[in-house]
Structure 1
């Protein structure tokens, strides 16, 4: 949370609503920091893990397969990833960690150009030249050369859309509607014309605010790094929350620094069995904690203010049962879902939370055994679809899961053999919709049949996969309903207002986490957010 939290009293009772990775990790950190605190976690579904869903299913012949219906990799350069990996190491599960090496096939990324051809995102001189001569590269060179000389915002410090700040800084709209629109669709499922620059594209926003331009920021940062090297030699320091993490759990600082430096070498990390392996491991660890209770398949329906004690809070669940006497309530679900739980006397707060809509993403998984239908030059992480593409199927992008899986190498357990590397198969995940599904703010969801048909057409046109192979494959369809909050212009100011309103209404008895209230919707980010708030409450 933006607003500070105060330490819990001895033997306090805490409720956590939401059993996704945010709620699980907050519970894990708090219960470790404060074994005297009793934590009850409530999850509406039978399973925990939230949108991280490594789904075990079977193909058309009945053989077991795993398809990812949510995130599948982590960024190596991230404080949250360091915390995840160190947690796995603490729990004796470091052998599960897999890595994608920089420059390998699975590290290649593509964009779809206006003629529905894949164009590689530049990573060499030859790919840069090809990109610049493609329509997707239009405006890039003059935009970058002139960026230093362009005027700053006439309203410095005021939020604006990503599209607005990019068009001003680069003097054209090609960069925003081509490269950056594709990137942010892949992360947020939303439109650059609507997304808050201050929230979702912080680097370019703050570079202009602090340095005047991104070019000037680059030179200033280079000078700063050079000064620090001369001053401190080659010593390195932990960044972000990691110093606090070291102090809170008595970690060896040099060991954690070594881990952080190791992870930075890898653009992507994954886990044996899929990314859901991590929340499953945390859940199993929590099952052994005597101060933690996990209540699943029991949706919370109402937050109850205590009539006898203004400093405690209660919850009502769908079965009608009530849980009372909590000294603190942690809410990790989306803002609109939080609004549904508030009592009627908090109607104005509910209205404020309902200002934040969420995007729905449709996921289509395709699996074909015994055959790789991707051409060798198409092998990579996958491709994203820019705003400049006509895109009748409302496709956000396609992830080449089989390429990623076959390129995974063990990070810590070097004796582990990746059997998938020897197999021929195709596994793809298409992401559809996001803001493109919305009509008057309400998502209009096409049927399973219509969606899969549109994906088949896209895979045929974009990748050249023939109809026989498409029809022979196994297909899965998933609706990730309202899974991503829409980070509209002014979101940070809205969040600050919402948190302050919660403190006015509930004092220190409520804190807010999850995708809607962390720095970013990424898995590492919500985990850092959970740790930071658990630390404030625990110490």
Structure 2
């Protein structure tokens, strides 16, 4: 749906996280005539991107308390890196190559050992010999023997756990392997997560091939498409401003990166956007000002905190919208939920405690491997940082010896009433790594990211569609919904593309 903003109109943006700031920046670029007010109830902007810098033994240390990398293959990553280029921040961009040590991922098996996720047939052969893959070969055979295409018109949403059990003939593969991936992406329980929203690739493979295994083999050897999406091409024509050749090469280089980040942490992106927006006469950033209500106005406008606007863009999670959108009944029944995640940063200066055999991006903990402590996964930040190359010089950054990691704890386990013991979690991680972390007196800091990730449960898409439809009807198209709850996926790049799509239709 297009934004209805007249010439020299007024737009209200609710939230100054990645979604709100990206939307505001892109709208300002495309429609510099529009007046933009950004409301943020916190005293800081950036949302869940939170790169904390603190002093340890006389040196500055960065500890990420939210997302820290971007997927190179995502269209949104291309847009973000280009925005940083336009803001004069390209020297801060860094990347990890696909063959880098930091691009290795691990899963924790039921015996407390880390097992590398395979990227080739040799690694796959080793993977199936580990207890973590119990039932994998049998499940793949079941999938092939019960090949049947889904009917796209009649398929009803189900949980990812149900979908996997149906295709593989048991819950083993889901419990031992796939549930770990859902911990890393959604901090969620795959037995509650919507197959249509979070397992779309599985559903599409069953619809097209009647089998997950056939779908997997169909993609082997296929080269990634170098054709850029229509949205990327339109972004460059309308905002980016590069020649077609330069834009194609720029995008190709981003896509060839396994992951990207910024020298000062991922929070550099919202900080750069904020610095730009604060210099624009048409933009006002209202930090510490919460929105009390959004009500239909008289005529072609919407009333926010008593001020009339031509358009309102909300970037809040659905679970946080009920209070300020009292007119939308679909938000008033508590149907939308979120999960909270404890972020525990661990830093040991002067020594590297992550041995080469397990050095990589980190590891995830499938539900079958859980030790009852609520641990979802661990990120090896120091491994990633040692493998970063500067975008412009393609040289590694200087990195002192250290061990830096982030524990992610809680998520759906918290929603089920689990009492967390972060000290116990750290002890379990010590066992996984084969080293007594406590003996090194690590610097630690904890942060609760409260209600940070929406629960994309079964039926979520229908619930969200009803809210969007009701919102459109009540506010005559003058309110649109963005942010992670209404984006195509949960990642930062997904959110960026959702905001870009809205602005391109302004």
Whether the 8 Å contact between 1:364 and 1:430 is mirrored in structure 2 is yes
Q: Does 1:239 align with 2:226?
A: no
Q: CA RMSD in A?
A: 2.2
Determine which of 156, 159, 167 is the counterpart of 2:157. 159
Tell me if structure 2 keeps the 8 A contact 1:22–1:332. Answer: yes
Deviation at residue 459 of structure 1 after TM alignment: 1.8
Stretch of structure 1 that moved more, 5-14 or 473-482: 5-14
Instruction: Measure, in 2, the Cα distance between the counterparts of 1:219 and 1:106.
Output: 26
Shift of 1:444: 6.2
Cα distance between partner residues in 2 of 1:125 and 1:53: 38
Q: Which residue of 2 aligns with 1:248?
A: 238
What is the TM-score normalised by the length of structure 1?
0.88
Q: d(CA) in 1 for partners of 2:169 and 2:145?
A: 10
Give the superposition deviation at 1:360: 0.5
* 1:337 maps onto 2:320 in alignment: yes
Give the C-alpha shift of residue 174 in structure 1. 2.0
Moved more, 139-148 or 297-306: 139-148
1:358-411 per-position Cα deviation (integer Å, ceiling 9, x unaligned): 001011001111111222212111010001114221100000001111111112
CA distance in 2, matches of 1:253, 1:360: 43
Report if the CA contact (8 A) 1:368-1:469 is conserved. no
CA offsets, 1:28-49, max 9 Å, x none?
0111110111001111112111
Residue 102 of structure 2 aligns with which residue? 106
Q: What residue in structure 1 maps to residue 44 of structure 2?
A: 47
2:253 matches 1:262:
yes
Report the more deviating stretch, 186-195 or 240-249.
240-249
> Aligned partners of 2:244 and 2:159: how far apart in 1?
40
Q: Secondary structure at the match of 2:485?
A: coil
1:209 matched residue in structure 2: 207
For the pair 1:403 / 2:383, whether they are aligned, the reply is: yes
Task: Tell me whether 1:171 sits opposite 2:169 in the alignment.
Answer: yes
What SS does structure 2 have at the residue aligned with 1:95?
helix
Q: Deviations over 1:249-268 (max 9, x none)?
A: 24422222112211222111
Cα distance in 2 for partners of 1:235, 1:515 equals 26
Shift of residue 79 of structure 1?
0.6
Deviations 1:470-506 (A, max 9, x none): 5x11110100001000000111111111100111211
Between the aligned partners of 1:263 and 1:117, the Cα distance in structure 2 is 33
- 5+ unaligned residues in a row in structure 1: which ranges? 227-233, 317-321
In the other structure, the counterpart of 1:58 is 55
Between stretches 271-280 and 456-465, larger displacement belongs to: 456-465
- Does residue 300 (structure 1) correspond to residue 291 (structure 2)? The answer is yes
SS in 1 for 2:292: strand
Any conservation in 1 of the 2:344–2:447 contact (CA below 8 Å)? Answer: yes
Q: Distance in 2 between matches of 1:168 and 1:174?
A: 11
Look up the SS of the partner of 1:341 in the other structure: coil
Q: Relative to structure 1, is the Cα distance of residues 455 and 56 closer, same or farther in structure 2, using a 3 angstrom cutoff?
A: same
Report the CA distance between 1:534 and its aligned residue: 1.2
| Separation in structure 2 between the aligned mates of residue 332 and residue 67 of structure 1, nearest angstrom | 26
SS at match of 2:23: helix
Looking at structure 1, the residues matched to 393 and 303 of structure 2 have their Cα atoms a distance apart, in angstroms, of 46
Alignment of 1:14-413 (within 5 A): 14-59=11-56, 61=57, 63-150=59-146, 151-153=148-150, 156-217=154-215, 236-239=226-229, 241-249=231-239, 250-306=241-297, 309-316=298-305, 322=306, 324-343=307-326, 346=327, 348-352=329-333, 354-413=334-393
Which secondary structure state, in structure 2, belongs to the residue aligned with residue 477 of structure 1? strand
* Cα distance in 1, alignment partners of residues 439 and 213 from structure 2: 48
What is the TM-score of this pair, normalised by structure 2?
0.94
Contact between 1:182 and 1:386, CA under 8 Å: does it hold in 2? Answer: yes
**Cα pair 1:364 1:431 within 8 Å, conserved:** yes
1:532 aligns with 2:495: no
C-alpha distance 101-467 of structure 1, shift in aligned 2 (>3 A)? closer
SS in 1 for 2:257: coil
* Aligned twin of 1:458: 428
| Deviation (angstroms), 1:340 | 1.2
User: Structure 2 matches for 1:513-524, cutoff 5 A?
Assistant: 513-524=482-493
8 A contact 1:157–1:209 mirrored in 2 = no
Gaps of at least 5 residues in structure 2 are: none
Give the deviation of 1:144 after TM superposition: 2.8
Q: In 2, distance between residues paired with 1:112 and 1:211?
A: 31
**Cα pair distance change 1:473/1:221, threshold 3 Å:** closer
